[in-house]
């Protein structure tokens, strides 16, 4: 379980929260604290008070995969295969094991054709795929995705959703503006003014949001 206790950070204030294993989607208005919360879950930021524990360990004590809204800002290498391998190389994994892991994740994600491409030549959607592969290649305990799908078309969103659903990552926490995507997760958090206003299954949370813009369009169209 992910346990949150007395968390305080900038605009975030969460007294108590438990997040089960699986895929957790985070939604809410702009400025509600979603990105701040994800940064805390990933260990990029540390709380001013309180703590987050992932199976009794702080985020920085776990292997964490991170993908943000603009993967261009985090590109370290010129070639896609080197970008995917970056985390393993920085942790001094043997070359043969690193190369094998890169090939395995690329085959799993159906991106073998991108491995020898220059990062600058890739489309926005392809860069997100490479960033996701780089986050997954180290087999993280938690995968944190901050509006990774905000600039993707429907086809690319579906491709990435399949990868996430089929990954063996124990905890996935993702912020998304796509309510259909949020509805496909196991757990849902609705943030408002830096607080968790609603939490639970998508069915439970969206029932309380049925009169808001956050209700999935496909659910409105159900007969």
Measure CA 111 to chain center: 19
- Per DSSP, the residues of 7-21 read EEETTEEEEEEEE-S
Q: What is the predicted pLDDT for the residue at 20?
A: 95
Give the chain's residues under pLDDT 70: 222-223
Q: What is the predicted pLDDT for the residue at 215?
A: 81
Torsion angle defined by CA atoms of residues 19, 21, 23 and 27, in that order, rounded to the nearest 10 degrees: 0
Q: What is the predicted pLDDT for the residue at 93?
A: 82
Torsion angle defined by CA atoms of residues 63, 177, 157 and 18, in that order, rounded to the nearest 10 degrees: 40
Q: What is the predicted pLDDT for the residue at 110?
A: 85
Residues 6 or more apart in contact with residue 113 via CB below 8 angstroms: none
């Amino acid at each position: 379980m992910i346990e949150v206790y007395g968390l305080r950070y900038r605009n975030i204030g969460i007294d108590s929260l438990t997040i089960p294993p699986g895929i957790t989607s985070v939604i809410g208005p702009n400025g509600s604290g979603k990105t701040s919360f994800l940064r805390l879950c990933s260990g990029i930021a540390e709380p001013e008070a309180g703590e987050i524990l992932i199976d009794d360990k702080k985020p920085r004590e776990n292997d964490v995969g991170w993908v943000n809204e603009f993967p261009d800002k985090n590109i370290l290498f010129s070639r896609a295969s080197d970008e995917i391998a970056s985390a393993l190389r920085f942790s001094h994994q043997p070359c043969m094991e690193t190369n094998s892991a890169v090939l395995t994740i690329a085959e799993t994600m159906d991106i073998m054709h991108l491995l020898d491409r220059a990062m600058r030549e890739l489309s926005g959607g392809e860069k997100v795929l490479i960033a996701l592969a780089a986050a997954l290649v180290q087999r993280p305990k938690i995968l944190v995705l901050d509006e990774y799908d905000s600039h993707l078309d429907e086809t690319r969103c579906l491709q990435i959703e399949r990868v996430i659903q089929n990954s063996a990552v124990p905890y996935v926490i993702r912020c998304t503006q796509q309510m259909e995507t949020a509805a496909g997760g196991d757990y849902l958090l609705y943030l408002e003014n830096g607080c968790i206003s609603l939490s639970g299954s998508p069915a439970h949370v969206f029932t309380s949001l049925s009169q808001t813009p956050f209700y999935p369009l496909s659910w409105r169209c159900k007969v």
